[in-house]
Structure 1
């Protein structure tokens, strides 16, 4: 029996264009990312370096880029947050049938964009019993320690949890720890159809 539902954020609630940042950078004449940049991306997502350090590192690697161009390119992945999904989670929260947790690989630049462009973000956040962003807790999916952190912090039994994420490696990692999962396909599935799509669990 499911008692806790753990939600990803991007492509579950917020629509993403995952190829957009690469396209934006290519338009700015950045076609290849050295390994050290990819490592910095992961460090930034885990909150191990600040936004200023992150932007400064990109400017060192690509001196022709301005800080604003880096931020705009980084945020190009974010499309919109349909309000009907907020209404879905709000209703679920009000019904109080499940423990609701958000668990997302999200960095500070992205969440700043969300705060600025999604007027109901703070109300959305209040719908959850816990709201975990990777840059705030220094863990990221699909590493096992991020799931273990949530399970241990809230004293959860994995078999009583459903984890929803659009990235297969993330749901596979959660499943290895015993959680039920829904690897949502954002081009044809929507989180608001949860209780139809995974009706065998409820």
Structure 2
């Protein structure tokens, strides 16, 4: 870690606990039996890709999903099912981020969407009294805001160039292998974080 000056963190599965099965089960309860064909952790269909790159509004997204659920389903039920995957921010991980801020330039790079951002920041405020996950980072990059998403190389190059980061001095931590593969191909140092390991296994918090 001696030559590392910058650390780019993924969000879901790295800082924020998520469980995709909860959303899958919630949509099944709404009558969507083939939800895995519509969305998966690694590759969504065009609707989800467009949501994560800001090309469709939340209203359009909910309207499109409404075609697959059982008649009479309310929009708020669709939104609740979509958000069901978002769990919590373990306090130890937030403590680690706070300590790392004193040693490294920290950035967040997340494939996400406007619906989820509002909810996970609400979770952070409810559970930890903090207004936004962005407070831990020099800058937070969300795919729906920049119009690009991992694992495409353009979003990594965008973060590097905008902040003057050298790939060899930058560490990227993500739980999804294709995202890691692209970063490594650009010369970025990487850690593929796989459960049950967490960032606490990489960075031991100091007392």
Could you say whether these structures have the same fold, taking a TM-score greater than 0.5 normalized by the shorter chain as the test? Answer: yes
Deviations, residues 81-127 of structure 1 (Å, cap 9, x unaligned): 1122111111221x2x2110000011111111112221144364222
Q: Unaligned stretches of 5+ in structure 1?
A: 197-202
Q: Which residue of 2 aligns with 1:72?
A: 80
Among 125, 150, 165, the alignment partner of 1:156 is: 165
Among 5, 9, 28, the alignment partner of 2:7 is: 5
Q: Which residue of 2 aligns with 1:191?
A: 199
Q: Secondary structure of the residue that 1:80 maps to in structure 2?
A: coil
Aligned length: 193
**Are 1:46 and 2:48 counterparts?**
no
Q: Secondary structure of the residue that 2:164 maps to in structure 1?
A: coil
- Residue 179 of structure 1: CA displacement? 0.6
**Are 1:136 and 2:142 counterparts?**
no
What is the CA RMSD across the aligned residues, in angstroms?
Answer: 1.9
TM-score by length of 2: 0.86
Greater helix proportion:
1
- Residue 61 of structure 1: CA displacement? 4.3
Among 28, 31, 43, the alignment partner of 2:30 is: 28
TM-score by length of 1: 0.88
Q: Unaligned stretches of 5+ in structure 2?
A: none
Deviations, residues 118-168 of structure 1 (Å, cap 9, x unaligned): 114436422211111111111111011110111111121111110000001
Q: Which residue of 2 aligns with 1:55?
A: 62
